[in-house]
Structure 1
Amino acid sequence: MAAYLPGGHQLPAGEPQPAPVAPGQEYGPGPVPAPGQVYAPGHVPAPAGAEFGPNKKLSTGAIIGIIAGGIVVLLVLAAAVIVPLLGGGGGGGSSAGGDKDEAAPAAATPEEWVEAYLTAVSEGDAEEAVKYIDTSSYSAALLTDEVLEASLKLGPIDDIKVGEAEEGDYSDVTVTATFTIGGKEVSREFQMYQSSYDGDITMLDGAARVSTYGFDDVGLTVNGVEVPDDALVFPGTYEFGTSLEEFTVEGESILVVADEKSEEAVSMLRPALSDSGIATYRELVTTSLRECLAMKTLNTPCGMDVTGMEKDGYAVVDGTVTRVMNAEGEAALAGLVGEVSDRAVVSTYESFGIDISVEAQNAEGQRGTYTTYYSGLLTPKVDFAVETPKVVWE
């Protein structure tokens, strides 16, 4: 007959089976071998001076000790899971180069983590603030004391209040914080994550992204610093501009950047011609167009070609073409603005009224003068990204 230990565990076949236990009897614990002592299967020696049979009861003290020991083990296991996320400061974010910073922030909880981060930002300490955030996805070129100092001059950060952390389903924690930037209240959530590699906390979205989309060749600047690629900024106020003096930022150029919504506003920024750019474009186009108007040839770099023009057997005589801009054309040229068409290229959809007269000759050598109002002028484009901008007619 097979024997069962308490808890329903059956002894292996071939092992000595304990004597049957009468109702009400309990099993006592077996003796523990001394260090280095090994018991053979089925051999359970009794301690000297005492005999513990299967019907011996466990003392009250022993029961309490076993229960307490079990609770300690469970608490240790629970602490190993919970402490790194909610109680362990430690790891921090990444350094400006994207690698983990050697000096871990001294923050014990996610709430303290967020408060310490925002405090460092509000004090202009970029070196300390960058320890709390993940900078691996985008450039950290703007996470500097220089850029942060300019940001705080535009809009100081005050009244930092941090709420209680809320745990998520996947080792993540959300902390809500409110603060003011230049007197304007900002309320946002900070997402924290426990690294599966080392158990440290990382703030996934502590900084905001600045997109450089639409500024290729023009160059986007943030608080005077050029950004070659999409970059991160601390929560704050930033002035946007361009690297080329011929361009500026269309619309509002000073924005508060602190969360995903403000990131969208930055992503909508586009370059436009500055006053300097408008003046330069107008001057270049005017000079080039007047050079073309002065030409007597059948064709010009600007268009206005009369090649192949025939009427009643008369063909245009090369060197006799006269091109004159009329009053409407002169007014359009004087008010020419231009617009950004692609990267740093500026063009226009403006039309210019030009009168063209030619001398034509037939097969018998007879000549006549003809006038046309169709100019066929090409589009003037200027690429301001090249060393010496000039007009290209396309």
Structure 2
Amino acid sequence: MQKLEGGADRDELRADGTTAAVIDASFTVEPGQIFVVMGLSGSGKSTLLRMLNGLLEPTAGRVLFDGQDLTALSPAELRHVRSSKISMVFQHFALFPHRSVLENAGYGLEVQGVPRAEREKRAAEALELTGLAGWEKSWPDELSGGMQQRVGLARALATDADLLLMDESFSALDPLIRRDMQDQLLELQKRLKKTIVFITHDLNEAMRLGDRIAVMRDGKIVQLGTAEDILVTPANDYVASFTQDVDRTRVLTAGAIMAEPHTVMGTSTDDGKELRTAADVLAAAPATVTESTPIIELFTPCSQSGVAVAVTDDSGKLIGVVPRARLLAVLGEPMTPAEAPKDIRTGTTSTKKVASV
């Protein structure tokens, strides 16, 4: 990572005979989170990923993993971290053609020195998790591209690493297989709660997978936030150009666009009754939804009533409302930060850290 004084960009550096791949990138990945780094080819995203496990050494700065600075480790210590705590899933599968599916899945355990019986057991369990039970004795060239990538994912899971690094892992696959692998990853994540840094150049993939997304351009992170942040309040024209063709109705949620409940207090229902309390809002709402409800499901109730849709938490408590006007506004032009919902403007933070750069 190149640490620059005065905010110099790539062109200024090239004039001095220096090429910087990643410039002043700083972010935190939370435990159990899928953190997506998105950008076009040459934006620096793969270089950034390789600094997270020590394959590339930053010019300046630190890479903290569970409080440990990876840039300060000896080569032997770094190899131990890479073999036991951080696994990587590559774009082109990286399978050994002379090893069976089971042997490929257990390769990381073999590097760790795990006895054969245990590594075969753990490799078989990982293959079952990725839907490849029964293929243990097959050879890589007998598998489809999607199945080969599942073997690569199983190999990473078998080591039970704390952090998975996935570098364009699905980009070599056909669209339907790619979608299937995204489904597979999301399903696994529900069960395993891994911490994942996922590199992609595809915005739809980033929006689908990422709990948080970093958008890179020319070595710099130009925006960092949730899919909702990036869709509703793009940081600049570059980010806005990425998001213009995204189907917002399937990405944005009720929780992302809701207004405070008090904004509808004092208004009247279709039959003239005044809304004075949260109970009034809940009783009059044409629908009650949770924060995670896609806004596409709000169209029908919003079209049938002038009363706002109610948004509740898991206990049924009213936490927000989505009036018809707000829903229509979100589907229009990108909002300015001042216009965006409060949670979009401020975001949320956590004190727990797994990996920081």
Same fold (TM over 0.5): no
Indicate the structure (1 or 2) with the bigger Cα radius of gyration.
1
Which protein is richer in helix relative to its size? 2
TM-score of the pair, normalised by structure 1:
0.22
Report 1 or 2 for greater relative contact order, CA contacts < 8 Å, sequence distance ≥ 6.
2
Which protein is richer in strand relative to its size? 1
